[in-house]
Amino acid sequence: VEASVPEGQRAAWKKHSAREFKTKEEFENEAVRHIETTLARSLFNCDEAAAYAGTALAFRDRLVIEWNKTQQRQTFADQKRVYYLSLEFLMGRALDNAMLNVGLKDVAKEGLADLGFRMEDIISQERDAALGNGGLGRLAACFLDSLASLNYPAWGYALRYRYGIFKQEIVDGYQVEVPDYWLDFNPWEFPRHDVTVDINFYGSVSQYVDDDGKQRTVWDNGEIVTAVAYDAPIPGYGTTTTNNLRLWSSKASHGEFDFTKFNSGEYEQSVADQQRAETISAVLYPNDSLERGKELRLKQQYFWCAASLFDIVRRFKKSKKPWKDFANQVAIQLNDTHPTLAIPELQRILVDLEGLGWDEAWTIVQATFGYTNHTVLPEALEKWSVPLIQHLLPRHLQIIYEINSQFLQYVEKSFPKEKDILGRVSIIEESQPKMVRMAYLAVIGSHKVNGVAELHSDLIKTTIFKDFVKIYGPDKFTNVTNGITPRRWLHQANPKLSELIASKLGGYEYLRDLTLLHKLEAFVDDKDFRKDFQAIKYANKVRLAQYILEHNGVKVNPAALFDVQVKRIHEYKRQQLNIFGVIHRYLEIKAMSAEQKKKVQPRVSIFGGKAAPGYWMAKTVIHLVNQVGKVINADKEVGDLLKVVFLEDYNVSKAEIIVPGSDISEHISTAGTEASGTSNMKFVLNGGLVIGTCDGANIEITREVGEENIFLFGNLAEDVEDLREAHHKQGFELDPLLKRVFETIRSGTFGDAGQFSALVDSIVDHGDYYLVSDDFKSYIDTQNLIDQSYAKQEEWVTKTILSVARMGFFSSDRCIDEYAEMIWNIEPLKPETNGA
Ligand code: OX2
């Protein structure tokens, strides 16, 4: 919508244009105004929820002013923008982040105190925006923070799920899923009822000859669903740049009801149509690294890709530039294969709608897209059945076949002697039914493909994309090691540590350049600094202990070693190894004399994470952890030496409490299975150490912090295949200590053993695919080493301080700069450099 105010009226407009509050007085003024007028509450009727709403709305106003300016500035500057397409953005809470990023948290805190509220209580009123499963979605959220903080012109595109990831309840030790309806009050989103796109499904394809005599293809007569934009401002830290996250919501194309149907007596049909349309953006699929080919999921993917591309193309066309400039103005990053349909969709727009030739269009498409791979696990590689795509997106299937046919011709010409290669690299898998391999389409349609940690990026080149390296050469494949935003994961989650660091480094500049942390090394022997550092860790553990007492009813000693594993529950992440290790520890303690017990390092084993609702084995692990906790926590002979808790409903805001309170965190995936991991970075940055396998980013953390400051164990990725094969062919000897653990489970110590048999059998009888037995001894030995190391507190503190000092590399700012330079070719647009 373009309707600017005429020149003559602009002075009046500018005089009244919204102002940003800066002082405590001004903040109070804004908050109270919102509470009284926007919310229609009063002095006599303002609870914490209303105070949160008033505060959020005051900050929202501030963000909106900068957001508008940023968008204008970016449009005028006419630079290349990047669009990050991700089906998941695990944003967490927004208020604290907004206050810190605009630098007014202290002002608001004092203001709230004047009005009778405590900042912590107000912050905790907010529901998490949980539009993601785990690492992949949180990475996207960290990237948005960095993109804005570094002043890159960038938009995120996703779906506005009515229900985010389910809320997890633990009932009798079992996971129960409850819907997360998070939109009741969401002050951070702006519905744009004027920004809509009609999306076509099903229908048919036909050909015609246009006025220039060209053969053209049309796809129509389908079912139309409307995408409505909802925007959320993304503020940068220490800059006024405020980028946009656009979420699409689905609704029936004819508005609320189809009045023609309604009037002709088809009331029910009209309501049903409406509900069917709304279903598309109703739920986030709660599976992480597990794909299930549901039609609705495919509909979601296309709906979101088509709406986003329409929007991007619309913006480009306003510039009136020729098509050959498209990839100089637009970079699109595909966060995993979920948005791969954007590739045939852009080709369709260029060829069918804009009339470009196939080759010209395809050059533009390839130059536009980049693809990030996040997994090599076969069960997580997306495939869609050809009949399903044929039915839902007939034109796209034709385009995919055409892309494939041209690609295969090229391969055949390049490798005339290799018979098998064509079948191996074809986008179409010749199975029954035939399947479209989305990762191959993503590789073929992009100019760069990247993995998310060094080992992972090497692995994709030697396993799943081996043939493509041969075809395209190695330069198409690159690595961008993941990172995390230090704003949320240090400054916000651990304000005391952030303050201590700032006091030593002379300010908070390190939050914008995390490599400055290295200067902390100079203080490693400074007595006062060490004392403060230790005291902060202790205080964070006290906070976590209080949380555990409140939520689990278990009293834990903050002086014990806090051992944490929080992440999605998955066999490859091996929470089972952890809980078997806990059982082993329990058995050791039970066999000790009173004298021996005095030497035991007390521990608290803390678990958290959701299982995909249909992932039975993962749910069994949760159940086992809870049952083991029940027995151990009640055992008087064990007392404080060992406690085991499972924290319900792990999410971003809980991570902000859990991460700073850990001494050791577990990142113990079977080598070669965890692409990167990002929570490992968060824990170390907060002064905790890692027990981990040589996998994902653990390897690079080791490179940075030094081998002496991390506890690595287990088999290497290069040996995993051979071990699996040996298991298969020769069978294997179960580790004796693990055998004892299994005997204990089978004896019913933790309740009906039958409930855990699938878990035990997967190791004993079904080949132990994740090598739990192979790594068990090494895991236990390493845990013992950790006990010894922790007992020497001074050495431990040295390790943790040096580790924090050496974590600079893992900022998502570094990561975004690498993408910008190597893949997107975009430049920052600093607010000062422009008069807008
Ligand atoms: C996750 C990976 O499992 C994890 O290792 C990585 O750190 C994260 O993505 C961010 O790159 N779904 N989630 C992931 O991969 C997929 C597929």
Tens digit of pLDDT for each residue in 422-439? 999 999 999 999 999 999
Of ligand 1's listed atoms, the one at least distance from the Cα of 377 is: 17
Question: Which is the catalytic residue, given 93, 105, 573, 584?
Answer: 573
pLDDT of 289 higher than 90:
no
Pairwise CA distance, residues 365 & 85, whole Å: 15
CA angle 375, 380, 385 (to 5 degrees): 135
Per-residue pLDDT reduced to its tens digit, 312-327: 999 999 999 999 999 9
| 2 band by pLDDT with thresholds 50, 70 and 90 | low
CA of 137 to the centre of ligand 1 (A): 8
Task: For residue 301, give Cα distances in angstroms to 100, 155, 180, 345, 708.
Answer: 34, 18, 21, 11, 45
Pairwise CA distance, residues 423 & 428, whole Å: 8
| 836 band by pLDDT with thresholds 50, 70 and 90 | very low
Indicate the DSSP class of residue 162. S
Per-residue pLDDT reduced to its tens digit, 456-484: 999 999 999 999 999 999 999 999 999 99
Pairwise CA distance, residues 373 & 335, whole Å: 7
Give residues (CB < 6 A) around ligand 1.
134-136, 139, 288-289, 336, 374-375, 380, 452, 482, 674-678, 696
pLDDT, averaged across the chain: 96
Per-residue pLDDT reduced to its tens digit, 223-241: 999 999 999 999 999 999 9
pLDDT of 833 higher than 80:
no
| Torsion from C-alpha of 279, 280, 286, 292, nearest 10 degrees | 110
| 535 band by pLDDT with thresholds 50, 70 and 90 | very high
Cα 6–chain centre separation: 45
Please classify residue 388 by burial: count the beta carbons closer than 10 Å to its beta carbon, then call 0-12 exposed, 13-18 middle and 19+ buried.
middle
Q: Interhelix angle for 616-633 vs 575-590, to 10°?
A: 20
Start-to-end C-alpha separation, the chain = 20
CA of 762 to the centre of ligand 1 (A): 24
22 tagged catalytic: no
Q: What is the per-residue pLDDT for 531?
A: 98
660, 436 in Cβ contact below 8 A?
no
DSSP 323-386: GGGHHHHEEEEEESSTTTTHHHHHHHIIIIIT---HHHHHHHHHHHEEEE-----GGGS-EEEH
Pairwise CA distance, residues 745 & 757, whole Å: 9
CA angle 17, 21, 25 (to 5 degrees): 130
| 256 band by pLDDT with thresholds 50, 70 and 90 | low
The two structure tokens encoding residue 124 = 């905790």
pLDDT of 654 higher than 60:
yes
One of 3.40.50.2000, 3.40.50.970, 3.40.50.300, 1.20.1050.10 is the CATH number of 487-810, namely: 3.40.50.2000
Indicate the DSSP class of residue 206. E
Question: Which is the catalytic residue, given 73, 127, 374, 395?
Answer: 374
Per-residue pLDDT reduced to its tens digit, 93-140: 999 999 999 999 999 999 999 999 999 999 999 999 999 999 999 999
792 tagged catalytic: no
- Segment 795-806 mean pLDDT: 98
* Nearest to 281, CA basis, from 225, 222, 198, 336: 225
Pairwise CA distance, residues 824 & 811, whole Å: 19
Per-residue pLDDT reduced to its tens digit, 380-399: 999 999 999 999 999 999 99
Going by CA atoms, what residue is nearest to atom 14 of ligand 1? 136
Please classify residue 671 by burial: count the beta carbons closer than 10 Å to its beta carbon, then call 0-12 exposed, 13-18 middle and 19+ buried.
buried
482, 453 in Cβ contact below 8 A?
yes
Indicate the DSSP class of residue 491. I
Pairwise CA distance, residues 595 & 631, whole Å: 23
pLDDT of 418 higher than 80:
yes
CA of 720 to the centre of ligand 1 (A): 20
Instruction: Give every CB contact of residue 345 below 8 A, 6+ residues apart in sequence.
Output: 302, 305, 306, 309, 396
Pairwise CA distance, residues 836 & 829, whole Å: 12
- Segment 339-354 mean pLDDT: 98
- Segment 809-815 mean pLDDT: 98
DSSP 82-111: EEEE-S-EEEE-SHHHHHHHHT-HHHHHHH
The torsion region of residue 612 among left (phi > 0), alpha (psi -120 to 50) and beta comes to: beta
| 15 band by pLDDT with thresholds 50, 70 and 90 | confident
pLDDT of 1 higher than 60:
no
Phi, psi of 666 (to 5 degrees): -105, 125
Count CB-CB contacts under 10 A for residue 686. 27
Residue whose CB lies within 8 A of the most ligand 1 atoms, among 89, 90, 143, 289, for a mutation test: 289
CA of 543 to the centre of ligand 1 (A): 29
CA of 280 to the centre of ligand 1 (A): 24
Q: What is the per-residue pLDDT for 57?
A: 97
Q: What is the per-residue pLDDT for 720?
A: 98
Q: What is the per-residue pLDDT for 261?
A: 75
175, 168 in Cβ contact below 8 A?
yes
Count CB-CB contacts under 10 A for residue 367. 17
| 268 band by pLDDT with thresholds 50, 70 and 90 | confident
The model carries a pTM of: 0.97
455, 701 in Cβ contact below 8 A?
no
- Segment 247-252 mean pLDDT: 97
**Cis peptide preceding 433, ω within 30 of 0:** yes
Pairwise CA distance, residues 559 & 575, whole Å: 24
Of ligand 1's listed atoms, the one at least distance from the Cα of 678 is: 7
Pairwise CA distance, residues 322 & 345, whole Å: 19
Indicate the DSSP class of residue 236. P
The two structure tokens encoding residue 544 = 């976590």
- Neighbouring-strand partners of residue 448: 370
- Segment 642-658 mean pLDDT: 98
The two structure tokens encoding residue 574 = 């091996």
CA of 450 to the centre of ligand 1 (A): 13
CA of 447 to the centre of ligand 1 (A): 21
Question: Which is the catalytic residue, given 73, 93, 246, 567?
Answer: 567
User: Three-state SS across 737-795?
Assistant: HHHHHHHHHHCCCCCCHHHHHHHHHHHHCCCCCCCHHHHHHHHHHHHHHHHHHHHCHHH
DSSP 700-746: HHHHHH-GGGSEEES--HHHHHHHHHHHHHH--PPPHHHHHHHHHHH
Indicate the DSSP class of residue 44. T
pLDDT of 657 higher than 60:
yes
Residue at 491: amino acid letter: H
- Segment 635-639 mean pLDDT: 98
- Segment 283-309 mean pLDDT: 95
Of ligand 1's listed atoms, the one at least distance from the Cα of 452 is: 11
Domain residue extents for the chain: 18-77+96-126, 78-93+128-481+822-828, 487-810
Residue whose CB lies within 8 A of the most ligand 1 atoms, among 133, 374, 680, for a mutation test: 374
* Nearest to 651, CA basis, from 575, 571, 573, 566: 566
Question: Which is the catalytic residue, given 338, 437, 447, 568?
Answer: 568
516, 505 in Cβ contact below 8 A?
yes
Residue identified by tokens 């373009």 is: 2
Cα 399–chain centre separation: 31
Q: Do domains 78-93+128-481+822-828 and 487-810 have the same CATH topology?
A: yes
391 tagged catalytic: no
Pairwise CA distance, residues 360 & 349, whole Å: 13
The two structure tokens encoding residue 422 = 């064509």
Indicate the DSSP class of residue 8. G
259, 242 in Cβ contact below 8 A?
no
Indicate the DSSP class of residue 18. -
568 tagged catalytic: yes
Q: What is the per-residue pLDDT for 835?
A: 39
- Neighbouring-strand partners of residue 565: 607
Per-residue pLDDT reduced to its tens digit, 553-585: 999 999 999 999 999 999 999 999 999 999 999
The two structure tokens encoding residue 527 = 């007595």
The highest-level CATH class for domain 78-93+128-481+822-828 is: alpha beta
The two structure tokens encoding residue 770 = 């994740």
Q: In what order do the strands lie in the sheet with 435-437?
A: 383-385, 435-437, 428-429
630, 582 in Cβ contact below 8 A?
no
Q: What is the per-residue pLDDT for 834?
A: 39
Pairwise CA distance, residues 572 & 563, whole Å: 19
Going by CA atoms, what residue is nearest to atom 13 of ligand 1? 136
368, 346 in Cβ contact below 8 A?
yes
pLDDT of 255 higher than 70:
no
Q: What is the per-residue pLDDT for 266?
A: 82
Instruction: Give every CB contact of residue 756 below 8 A, 6+ residues apart in sequence.
Output: 620, 623, 624, 745, 750
